[in-house]
Structure 1
Amino acid sequence: MLIDSAKTGELRLEQARWSLVPAWSDTFKLKYPTFSARAETLAAKSTWRKPLQAHRTIILARGFYEWTGEKGSKQPWFIHDPNAELLGLAGLYCWWPDRSKPDDDPHRWVLTAIILTFDAVQTLAGIHDRNPVRLPEHMWLHWLDPSPTGDQALVDDAVLAGIA
């Protein structure tokens, strides 16, 4: 994933664990799934509010899979853009502190991330009811910029840019 370093202002590529775990959580495994977040209600949810404000990321991917069919005979669909080398999917990240480890342990902090989703576009609605929010390249730096506080308007702009 691509993040803007608050300390240096430089972009960094980082590996992260899938499923965002908020820093305030006492446990790494939450009672509810956090592998994606609904863009439409993002700013209203306490789990996503803080990461949205200043911990936005772009998940780089060649594409993504959706599956259709019945259990045991599911059909994979690789969704990608043949005209783009990489997709930039809007996401959020959080550093989760493993409180069972000492403060000076380099493995104490775990980087976690999610992607944002929205209602499926017409061409993909038959495969899945939700799609990742895809950011066009011209919007990448705007999404990553930590100086404006992230809010629902920023998320709505990202969704609109991705379907335009």
Structure 2
Amino acid sequence: MAKAIGDLVAEAEAEADANLELRQSWNVAPTTDVPIVLERLVEGELHRQIHVARWGLVPGWAKDLSVGVRAFNARSETVESKPTFRSAVKKRRAAVPVQGYYEWKKVGAKKHPYFVHHPAGELIFFAGLYEWWKDADDSWVLSTTILTMDSPPADAPGVLAELAELHDRLPIPMDQQTMKQWLDPAACDTAVLLDELRANAFDVAAHWTLHEVDPAVGNVRNNYAELIEPHSSSLF
């Protein structure tokens, strides 16, 4: 995420604390901080807020933060039954805004990275969950995960077929209406919410585009704006 807080607030239609700090990043790795959008009831009124969370969900019962290393993604088909996620999906649902994401495609014996994004530069909002975890010093850690589903079929039209070639799983994107339903803390039928997420995901993803990028993205220590620029495999 490299957008300014003001832009994120506008696109998410949310509010942010004046002291909120977002570190620009073009190569986000699990366990690092990312922005999330959630809704909370404050004095009887629903407020959509932006917070910063550790990427990799840490449930309240965890003994330490290492649980989050294995929980940066959650399969939507099993999220209601997995101990790590089943509490959060009922009452702590979030949206994770991104400018795009990297995925690797195997071509022959090599893998080439691609950047998936909205062609107009608009943010993509993935369905996510959040949790609060308290450490031994009584400090609270906010963490998050991104929900995934099966990728589009290989014979899908347009960019959906390209997404199918990249990976067999797809992080679940939401439009504004779906996000409103997902974030609503009063919504209690999680099975219906999950079905609606999956039913709408391909319609959202159909507006994306992708291009090959520099394989330098494979090293998380590389973090600069040029990483998301087009880069032909013929150059390396």
Shorter-chain TM-score range: 0.7 to 0.9
Q: Distance in 2 between matches of 1:116 and 1:4?
A: 18
Where in structure 1 do 4 or more consecutive aligned residues deviate above 3 Å? none
Identify if the C-alpha distance between structure 1 residues 92 and 150 changes in structure 2 by more than 3 Å, giving closer, same or farther.
farther
2:183 counterpart residue number: 144
Match of 1:120 among 151, 157, 174: 151
Higher relative CO (CA 8 A, sep ≥ 6), structure 1 or 2? 1
Contact 2:77/2:149 (<8 A) preserved: yes
Q: Distance in 1 between matches of 2:87 and 2:189?
A: 9
- Which structure: larger Rg? 2
Q: Distance in 1 between matches of 2:68 and 2:132?
A: 18
Q: Distance in 2 between matches of 1:32 and 1:128?
A: 20
Q: Match for 1:57: what amino acid?
A: A
1:76 Cα offset (Å): 1.4
Identify if the C-alpha distance between structure 1 residues 40 and 21 changes in structure 2 by more than 3 Å, giving closer, same or farther.
same
Q: Deviations over 1:3-47 (max 9, x none)?
A: 112335211111110100001111111297101011112112121
Residue 14 in structure 1 maps to residue 51 in structure 2: yes
1:161 counterpart residue number: 200
Q: Distance in 2 between matches of 1:150 and 1:52?
A: 10
Q: Secondary structure at the match of 1:44?
A: coil
Q: Secondary structure at the match of 1:148?
A: coil
**Stretch of structure 1 that moved more, 15-24 or 117-126:** 117-126
Contact 1:40/1:156 (<8 A) preserved: no
Q: TM-score w.r.t. structure 2 length? A: 0.62
Q: Which runs of 5+ in 1 are unaligned?
A: none
2:141 counterpart residue number: 110
The count of aligned residue pairs is 157
Q: Distance in 1 between matches of 2:95 and 2:189?
A: 14
Contact 2:72/2:145 (<8 A) preserved: yes
Query: Equivalences for 1:13-52 in 2 at 5 Å?
Result: 13-30=50-67, 33-52=70-89
Q: Deviations over 1:119-150 (max 9, x none)?
A: 11132121111110011112111110000225
Q: Distance in 2 between matches of 1:6 and 1:53?
A: 15
Please report the RMSD computed on the Cα atoms of aligned residues, expressed in angstroms. Answer: 2.1
Q: Distance in 2 between matches of 1:80 and 1:159?
A: 19
1:114 Cα offset (Å): 0.5
